[in-house]
Structure 1
Amino acid sequence: MTYTIYDFIGNIGLFLLLGTYFLLLLNKIESRSVLYSLSNAAASTLIGISLLVDFNLSAFLVEVFWLAISLFGIGKWCYLRRKATPPAR
């Protein structure tokens, strides 16, 4: 087995995903925060990139849905933030 740049990208995604989860368990970040969703979106994107080279359909689908759910969380955060901001005069 050779270690490629795509493996490295996937490993960065893996450590980002695990680090985010660990911070969540330590109560250092909240699951409703945009940081949590952004981190998950970045992690799934990086892992997905690595899967494009050594494709696995099941793993790729997990990452696609993980990204979609993370983007939903980012959108929800943006919507709630915009809703809470008083209108400019």
Structure 2
Amino acid sequence: MIDIDIYTAVGFVGMACIIGAYGYLTWKEDPNPYILHGTNLAGAALLTVSLLIHTNWPSLVLEGFWAAIAIWGLAKALRSRRTQT
């Protein structure tokens, strides 16, 4: 039997968020950027929690970039919303 601690479980939830966001992007004709980037950011944050305990440096760096891109996407969506109103 595999022993899964809380940090691994949190990592699995983060992984599900990122996969879900990618599926959402592929499925929707016009995806909501707040859902897309917010879910990616949540996933990156949750995976980072897991990776801080079970360190895998390449994956930790990847999550940093993933989070930065998600934040950039959210900021871009906010700027776009402001110019439309």
The answer to whether TM tops 0.5 is: yes
What stretches of structure 1 of length at least 5 have no aligned partner? none
Equivalent in the alignment of 1:62: 62
TM-score under structure 2 normalisation? Answer: 0.89
SS at match of 1:82: helix
Partners in 1 of 2:54 and 2:30 — Cα distance?
32
TM-score under structure 1 normalisation? Answer: 0.86
CA offset digits 1:11-38 (Å, max 9, x no partner)? 00111111111122222662x6121010
Percent identity for Structure 1 against Structure 2: 29
Equivalence map 1:33-72=2 (5 Å): 33-72=33-72
SS at match of 1:55: coil
After the TM superposition, which parts of structure 1 deviate over 6 Å for at least 4 consecutive aligned residues?
none
Output the amino acid matched with 2:74.
I
| Greater C-alpha Rg | 1
Output the amino acid matched with 1:63.
E
Partners in 2 of 1:51 and 1:11 — Cα distance?
11
Equivalent in the alignment of 2:14: 13
CA offset digits 1:40-59 (Å, max 9, x no partner)? 00000001110000101100
Structure number with the higher helix fraction is: 2
What stretches of structure 2 of length at least 5 have no aligned partner? none
Partners in 2 of 1:48 and 1:28 — Cα distance?
30
What is the number of equivalent residue pairs in this alignment? 84
Q: CA RMSD in A?
A: 1.5
